[in-house]
């Protein structure tokens, strides 16, 4: 199955959002639960301080806690009063919460040596090595005479607190669900927005494949995709320019080849018609034309190997007077057919150049070809 970039990015964004939401859910759940537990424990501490203040009246400097130890119902009544005031009409714990120790059973009265004043059999059954206690000192005349201790519970004890915790947790799950749906929509929109330049590039590449070099794609923004779009537009401009140059190049090639072929044809026809005899100088002229054609074919081969065109070699010694004479002899028959008089005005010493013989030959041949085409009948061509 072929997976497009859209689905890859979409799944990546959606998976990332889902993992982040799941991680946030776990962290917020633990943080909220532990924070709520700390809050409830702090409330227990506040109640323990009230108990410590009230139980301090039963302490005797000589007998210690013997008065309340001999009458344990005083301790029980004191705990009931504090619990009754703190509940304010709330319902007592029911169901699974009764399996654990109640808040009443987890409170311990300790003397100043840290030893329990009463015997707590229920506490010993539930106590383990991991049990943690909160101790609140009992002061009499600014001296610590004992402690009120309570064993902490890791679970939320109050039904009201537990209901509040569940309600908040359900609200968070609902919010997380809506955020996940929102992430789904946003991820789809963002991926479509980010991949829009790629769609334009695909359409542009398809147009180039079918030979449409006028294709230009819109550039949006200034990011990497925008740079890619600009590069694509520059590519289409370059290809369009190269197409024009190639067409012009083909036209120039046909023009370059037409001149020697026409000269060669006219000289061959002159010999066939008996106007000229197959003398050595005419045969040599034909041979020079064939060499000229071969030179042009070699140039075309070099052009096919390199876009830079013909490599001009200016180190060759060239006799310009001799080169003019050779090309003039090659075109004289054609000019005579059109009744064009050829005048040579370059008689004199040889003119030596450091130049490219093939390029000069092409240049002078083109001048003769244009003179043949655009000179009226009975005209004159002067070469000087």
pLDDT digits (tens, 9 = 90+) for 335-374: 998 999 999 998 778 899 999 888 898 899 989 999 998 9
Alpha-carbon distance of 6 to 17, in angstroms, equals 16
Instruction: Assign 161 a pLDDT band (cuts: 50, 70, 90).
Output: low
Find the range with the poorest average confidence among 92-106, 154-168, 225-239.
92-106
Q: Is the pLDDT of residue 102 over 70?
A: no
DSSP-based three-state secondary structure for 353 = strand
Which candidate, 251, 195, 239, places its Cα nearest to that of 213? 239
DSSP-based three-state secondary structure for 7 = helix
| Better pLDDT: 9 or 378 | 378
pLDDT digits (tens, 9 = 90+) for 296-312: 787 777 666 555 545 67
Q: Which residues contact 325 (CB under 8 A, 6 or more apart)?
A: 344, 346
The pLDDT > 90 percentage for the chain reads: 10
Alpha-carbon distance of 70 to 63, in angstroms, equals 11
pLDDT at 92: 43
Domains and CATH numbers, the chain: 5-89+99-171 (3.30.450), 248-383 (3.30.565)
Q: CB-based burial of residue 245 (10 Å sphere; 0-12 exposed, 13-18 middle, 19+ buried)?
A: exposed
pLDDT at 1: 54
């Amino acid at each position: 199955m072929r997976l497009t970039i859209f689905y890859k990015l979409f799944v990546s964004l959606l998976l990332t959002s889902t993992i982040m939401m799941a991680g946030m859910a776990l962290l917020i759940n633990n943080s909220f639960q532990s924070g709520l537990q700390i809050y409830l424990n702090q409330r227990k501490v506040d109640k323990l301080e009230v108990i410590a203040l009230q139980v301090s009246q039963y302490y005797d400097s000589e007998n210690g806690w013997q008065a309340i130890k001999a009458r344990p119902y005083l301790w029980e009544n004191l705990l009931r009063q504090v619990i009754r005031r703190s509940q304010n009409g709330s319902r007592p714990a029911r169901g699974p919460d009764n399996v654990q120790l109640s808040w009443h059973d987890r409170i311990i009265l300790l003397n100043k040596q840290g030893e329990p004043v009463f015997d707590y059999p229920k506490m010993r059954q539930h106590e383990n090595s991991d049990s943690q206690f909160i101790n609140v000192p009992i002061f009499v005349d600014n001296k610590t005479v004992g402690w009120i201790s309570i064993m902490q519970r890791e679970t939320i004890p109050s039904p009201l607190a537990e209901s509040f915790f569940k309600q908040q947790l359900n609200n968070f799950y609902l919010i997380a669900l809506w955020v996940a749906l929102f992430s789904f929509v946003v991820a789809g929109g963002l991926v479509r927005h980010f991949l829009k330049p790629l769609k334009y590039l695909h359409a542009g590449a398809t147009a180039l494949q079918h030979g449409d070099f006028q294709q230009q794609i819109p550039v949006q923004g200034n990011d990497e995709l925008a740079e890619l779009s600009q590069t694509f537009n520059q590519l289409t401009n370059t290809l369009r320019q190269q197409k024009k140059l190639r067409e012009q190049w083909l036209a120039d090639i046909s023009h370059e080849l037409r001149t020697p072929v026409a000269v060669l044809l006219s000289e061959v026809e002159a010999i066939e018609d008996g106007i000229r005899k197959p003398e050595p100088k005419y045969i040599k002229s034909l041979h020079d034309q064939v060499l000229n054609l071969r030179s042009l074919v070699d140039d075309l081969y070099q052009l096919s190997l390199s876009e830079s065109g013909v490599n001009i070699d200016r180190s060759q010694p060239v006799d310009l007077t001799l080169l003019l004479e050779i090309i003039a002899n090659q075109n004289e028959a054609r000019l005579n057919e059109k009744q064009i008089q050829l005048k040579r005005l370059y008689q004199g010493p040889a003119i030596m150049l450091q130049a490219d013989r093939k390029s000069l030959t092409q240049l002078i041949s083109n001048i003769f070809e244009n003179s043949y085409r655009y000179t009226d009948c009975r005209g004159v061509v002067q070469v000087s």
